[in-house]
Structures are given as C-alpha cells and as structure tokens.
Amino acid sequence: MLLKEYRICMPLTVDEYKIGQLYMISKHSHEQSDRGEGVEVVQNEPFEDPHHGNGQFTEKRVYLNSKLPSWARAVVPKIFYVTEKAWNYYPYTVTEYTCSFLPKFSIHIETKYEDNKGSNDSIFDNEAKDLEREVCFIDIACDEIPERYYKESEDPKHFKSEKTGRGQLREGWRDSHQPIMCSYKLVTVKFEVWGLQTRVEQFVHKVVRDILLIGHRQAFAWVDEWYDMTMDDVREYEKNMHEQTNIKVCNQHSSTVDDIDSHAQTST
C-alpha cells in the first residue's frame, strides 16, 4: 500500500469550484473519449448517506488500454476497463477504482475542500492521523505537465479570465492570491502482487498526479464557460455530456464487456 496526500490550490472559492469541478469532469471525459477508449457513465443519481447527508453517486467504466505502459498491456485483455465509483457529498467526496481483471488492485481517494492555501495539516486527522504519508503540493501554474497534454490556452500562466479577471498566475501566486481554495486528496494505491507491488503503486501515483494537475488546470482555464452556471445548469450539461460520451465509447464495447468479465473470472 502506498499512501500520499495531494494538495491542489485554485484561484477560486470552494462554492465556485463546486460548479467548476462538475463541468471540468464532464468536458474532460468527453474530450478524452475516442476510438472506443474513454469514460462510459453507467449510473449517476442522487444518493443519501446517514452520516454525510444528501449527495450524488456515480459509477463509470474507464477504458484505457492504450494508456497503459507496455509491460502492463502485455498482461491485460485488449479491451480493458477500470470501474470508478464516486460518492459526492461536497465539500467531501470519496472515489474508488477497481478492476475485475486485477482483484488485488485498488485506488481509494478521499477529498476535502477548504477556502485556504493548503495550510490545514490536520484535515485528515479522523481518516489517517497515525498513517505515514508524503504530502505533495501541486501547483497548477508552475508544475510541468506531460508535453502531449500541454495547451497554451489551458496554461494558467497565460490564461486570464474575462469574467473574473483572474489568471496569468506567477510563481508564488498561492501566497497572495485572493480568492484561494485547496483540494485536499488522500490517495491510497494498493497492488498486492509480490514482485510488482512497488513498481505498480509508484506508477499509479505518477498517473494520478498528472491527472490531478491537468484536470485542475482545465477547471480554471474553462472558468468563463461555467462561471455563470447554476447547479441545475451544470447538472443538465453533465447529463448531456454523459449521453454524448457514452455514444462515443459504448458502440465499440457493447459486445466485449461480457468477454472481459468472463476472462476475469477465468483468471481468478
């Protein structure tokens, strides 16, 4: 098991990011879904928890064979997907990733959002007070992203919002920018296979970090697209994007999912 805590600051408020996060996830999923790979939304509906109250439950299938390293592609089926289940009780969310083909693999992410610059060292005391972990700050303006994902229009150093006047962030922006909020993510990666555990867990954390950096950059760079939206507006946008994305992804997978599950059962 490898546990890390990520802290990603944004030039937004927690209330603003509630809309921006939903918009970004839907648009990003749609953009990344092509040629049978991407995100299929299986379920998205209101959910009530006795402790956390009203929220939203989402289940997705993430098809990503071509994004795996060569050593991983050699041992998984040609059509490979990860199941994502998320419980959104904003400003607290839980997300889990599993794979039927790799029963000893899982990712567990707990997220909390606060209006500060990542200064709350006790935010996960109830969840992981005594667990050793590395704290990693992610800077949406100054951290490098993989070259293939770079777009100048999504670079916070260059982008400036017309609606909010925010942007063109410079080194050290987190020390003085207002407003500012932080997304705190406690990420646990497990791959309990002798000989591969360390390699796989480190690789997955690298992928998680890249995804968090890219997604949060996009959420800010797209702020003028979602800033005037209400929650009803963004839920309608989310619904429309899910329908369009499912069409792009599912047409190529409707006849293969049963084959994957059968393959997984045989392997285990």
* pLDDT for the residue numbered 263: 47
pLDDT given at position 268 = 47
What pLDDT shows up at residue 256? Answer: 47
- Helix, strand, coil shares of the chain as percentages rounded to 5? 35, 30, 35
Q: Could you give all domains of the chain from N- to C-terminal order, each with its CATH number? A: 2-240 (3.30.530.20)
**What pLDDT score was predicted for residue 65?**
58
Whether 140 contacts 129, CB under 8 Å: no
CA distances to 42, 117, 196, 220 from 138, in Å: 31, 11, 27, 14
pTM for this model (two decimals): 0.88
Per-residue pLDDT, 39: 86
> Can you tell me whether residue 191 is helix, strand or coil?
strand
**pLDDT tens digits for 115-145?**
999 999 999 998 887 888 999 999 999 999 9
Q: Would you say 217 and 145 are in contact if contact means Cβ atoms under 8 Å apart?
A: yes
User: 213: which 2 tokens?
Assistant: 């950096």
Residues in the chain predicted with pLDDT less than 50, given as ranges, are 255-260, 263-264, 267-268
Nearest to 38 by CA among 221, 234, 247, 207: 247
Instruction: Kindly provide the b/e burial profile for residues 1-38, where b requires at least 16 CB atoms within 10 angstroms of the residue's own CB.
Output: ebbbbbbbbbbbebebbbbbbbbbbbbbbbebbeebbb
Q: How far apart are CA 150 and CA 122, in angstroms?
A: 34
pLDDT for the residue 230: 97
DSSP collapsed to 3 states, 45-65? EEEEECCCEEEEEEEEEEECH
> Which one, of 83, 79, 84, 85, lies nearest residue 254 by Cα?
79
Do 227 and 164 touch, CB atoms closer than 8 A?
yes
- For residue 185, the cross-strand partners are 6, 111
Burial of residue 186 (CB within 10 Å: 0-12, 13-18, 19+) is buried
Structure confidence at residue 264 (pLDDT): 47
User: Would the CA dihedral through 140, 141, 143, 144 be positive or negative?
Assistant: positive
Distance CA 224, CA 213 (A): 19
